[in-house]
A and B are shown apart, each in its own frame.
Chain A
Amino acid sequence: MKVLRDKRIQFILTGIIFILLVNVLPIKSSTYTILTSCVIYSIAALGFNVLLGYTGQISLGHAAFIGLGAYVSAFVTQDLKLPFLVGLLAAGVVPILLGLVLGLAALRLEGHFLAIASLGFGVAIQQTFKVLTGLTGGFTGKTAPSAVIFGAKLKGGPEYLAFAVIVLVILCIFVYNIYNSKTGRAFIAMRDSVHAAQAMGIDVVKYKLIAFSISAFYSGIAGSIYIHLVKYTQPDVWGIVLSINLLGMVVIGGLASIGGSIIGASFITLVPDIVLEIPVLKDIPSSGTIFTGLAIILVIRFIPEGVIHVIGRVKGKIFKSGGKKNELTESTESVN
């Protein structure tokens, strides 16, 4: 059973089980859309966690990267008539260029100064979406075709959800591998002590730019999967609310944790929909948003390390496992 201890195998198995379940269980078609949204935001949160959780850099403009990915993917598939997978790849690569620009700003700014600068950056990009009508269609919005892979059209519902899950699993494995290598160690060393990192030969400029590139890439991929699900977008979607939600996902789920990113993303995505199912609450206007805010406050007050750590603790109590290796996400508070 040693194979099962490998996190990467766990990701793959979880993905397969999830895909099988959603295909077998009787699920409404609207539920598929919600679940696919969870997967999409999980991808974005995963990338955002590379930045915030591992490298300690904040950004309040990340919605712009997701939006850019969405527009690029729509442009490549709709206007250039290129295959969906080309659009997906372009949606990942193009935001990297923007990520590098924000990364360069991060070289000179820290903490709340970086937060404000990235906020401005996000707003500027969102405004650009409004005027750059050639790419985005401006306020009219932009449509995108259904995803087609090697001639096979992915129908909405279970097929597209399965595709999104596969992408998520691959990206989880990528990020897991990076965390457990030279680059991941450099990220964490930089976050905990810039001076020590430099003294050990870590080029802070290089690794900050890498972190911003990875998170921009993940955001762009999320944007691409989003637009081929919804098939339409307009600039208002890519504003500050989404950026803050992304921050909420990572904080609620757990900083510097892959599982935490997914749990946080699912939480923020699902809460408004669940609230709408409850009889009394659904009559209150914007009750979903209110409950999301409430949930963030409660989590920060009672489990500041994130939901994933509660799960970890419960699991630890049940199995009493002593595996300490790679538990980088372990909270340090108790240790110091």
Chain B
Amino acid sequence: MSLLKVQNLSISFGGLKAVDSLNFEVPQNSIYGLIGPNGAGKTTVFNCISRFYTPDEGSVMFYPEENEVDLLKLKVHEVVSKKMVRTFQNVELVKMMTVMDNLLIGLHHEIKTNFFQEALGLAKLKEKMYHDKAREVLKFLGLEKIENEIAGAQAYGVQKLIELGRTLMSEPKLIILDEPAAGMNHTETEALAVLIRRIRDELGISVLLVEHDMALVMKICEKLCVISFGKKIAEGTPEEIQNNKEVQAAYLGGEE
């Protein structure tokens, strides 16, 4: 049973076909990697799935529970309430807000206070339980000590964790991570690998990621899809991918 099914996905910008008839499926409860050389169209695929782009063709179906969700019918801001949420290649936090407030943004669609309650100051009482939830997430990430600190003052690696924490707030079924290890040092990347595993194992959240750090990808992903120039060139387990001649050619430039 798959969790996310991308079928026949195509999108072009001007004359350039960025993604060309791409098919792949993310199984339930899995860690799935989307890899490829620079400019292969990985982030474009992510943007189609998370609705920042509307593909020219194809379908993106999501199966968070029994029912199926046609993601292409949603607006960008509606995706998160269907239990799928993303991160960005460059950390997109509200830098001048506290860590706590940044996490609360991740819960935006669930916080049911209306404007008048807010203006009259009645919303504060209701927000207490959301704060508790944010504290749980911070504890899971080992960040409970910096709850009230300004997000922008944290180290880059920590900011990436906060962004990851923000996605966990909405209790999603699938999180899609755009280069989670970019800009991290070796130790941080190791810790990230452990964390992504824990997210899947302890929280039951599947992960779809785009990543350049091959060591990380090979270590944590159960299945990989390799794309080059917008087309899928291989799919399989990390071992299969490592031994695939076409993949080696795409990355290293093979003999013609």
Contact = CB atoms under 8 A, between A and B. Distances in A.
Contacts of A177: 118-121, 123-124
B108 A202 contact: yes
Nearest to A175: B119
Interface stretch (B26-34, B76-84, B195-203, B236-244): B76-84
Contact of A188 (B78, B94, B118): B94
A180 interface: yes
Most chain B Cβ neighbours within 10 Å, of A181, A183, A327, A328: A181
B148 A324 contact: yes
A204 B121 CA distance: 23
Contacts, number: 113
Nearest to B93: A196
Contact of B77 (A173, A188, A198, A330): A198
Contact of A182 (B76, B80, B111, B166): B111
B11 to A, nearest CB: 17
B119 A174 contact: yes
Interface residues of A, number: 35
A178 B118 CA distance: 5
B77 A8 contact: no
B127 A181 contact: yes
B98 to A, nearest CB: 6
A186 B98 CA distance: 14
Summarize A's interface: helix, strand, loop or mixed: helix
Given A324-B98, A336-B95, A200 B166 contact: yes
Nearest to B92: A196
Interface in A209-242: 210
Interface in B54-88: 75-81, 85-86, 88
Contact of A185 (B86, B108, B149): B108
A195 interface: yes
A332 interface: yes
A332 B124 CA distance: 26
A324 B150 contact: yes
